[in-house]
Amino acid sequence: MRTSATRTISPFLLSALCVCSVGRSDKQSNFSDQQQLSANAPSALASTIGDAQQRAASGCDASLWTHVYNPSRLQQLSSCVAATGIVEQSAADADGDQHFLLRLDPGQDALVNKRNRKKKNGNLVVEIVCANAPSLKRAKSACAGYTNRIAIPAVGTHVRATGTHVIDSHNGWTEIHPVSKLEKI
């Protein structure tokens, strides 16, 4: 009798295991699909950022992250993008970065968010790390022994800024930070 019960239970357990593992793989598949969907923003945004990534090609220098003051505040959206526009404002930050606002050329609206529109007049924040001597004591170690050689553009200059597209979690706006390459166009 014990043998017959084992034979009856075994197929039952086997089919239950199959059902559970199929359910698990479906859930994993759905989770994976959700990750992909959230990673790929709406198609217009993905298209614009895809265009920016194409323009950037391989123009980004990941080693610049070693010179970013407090990098944990920056949430990376894309490792390398290029944006074009007119420099609206420019100022040296206490952390040694040159901070400027870029009024984007048409068709790049997806590179900015609601906070950029509200607080930065729709402009993209762009930062060249260690372009100046830091006055903020806590930031000095990020620039120690390094001076960025990217030329600081004058206000009114039309440029292409290539670098990492991030959200600054302290301010909520998007930025290209750090800038790897800056070209006058």
pLDDT in tens, the chain (185 residues): 444 444 444 343 333 333 333 333 333 333 333 333 334 444 444 544 555 544 445 689 999 999 999 999 999 999 999 999 999 999 999 999 999 999 999 999 999 999 999 999 999 999 999 999 999 999 999 999 999 999 999 999 999 999 999 999 999 999 999 999 999 99
What is the three-class DSSP state of 40?
Answer: coil
Residue 168 is assigned to a structural domain of this protein: yes
Residue 30 is assigned to a structural domain of this protein: no
For 46, other C-beta atoms within 10 Å of its C-beta total 13
Residue with tokens 């372009």: 131
User: Which pLDDT value is given to residue 181?
Assistant: 96
Residue 151 is assigned to a structural domain of this protein: yes
Q: Name the helix (H) or strand (E) containing 19.
A: helix 2-39
Per the CB < 8 A criterion, the answer to whether 107 and 165 are in contact is no
Q: How many domains does the chain have?
A: 1
User: Which pLDDT value is given to residue 115?
Assistant: 98
User: Which pLDDT value is given to residue 28?
Assistant: 38
Residue 127 is assigned to a structural domain of this protein: yes
Among candidates 25, 68, 21, which has minimal Cα distance to 163? 68
Rg (CA), the chain: 24
Residue 99 is assigned to a structural domain of this protein: yes
User: Which pLDDT value is given to residue 59?
Assistant: 84
- Per DSSP, the residues of 92-118 read E-TTS-EEEEEEEPTT-GGGS-HHHHH
Residue 40 is assigned to a structural domain of this protein: no
- Distance separating alpha carbons of residues 165 and 174, to the nearest angstrom: 7
Among candidates 55, 57, 113, which has minimal Cα distance to 83? 55
| 133 Cβ contact list (under 8 Å, min separation 6) | 96, 143
Residue with tokens 């239950």: 16
CATH of the domain at 128: 2.40.50.140
User: Which pLDDT value is given to residue 173?
Assistant: 98
End-to-end Cα distance, the chain:
87
Residue 119 is assigned to a structural domain of this protein: yes
Residue 11 is assigned to a structural domain of this protein: no
* Boundaries of domain holding 126: 45-184
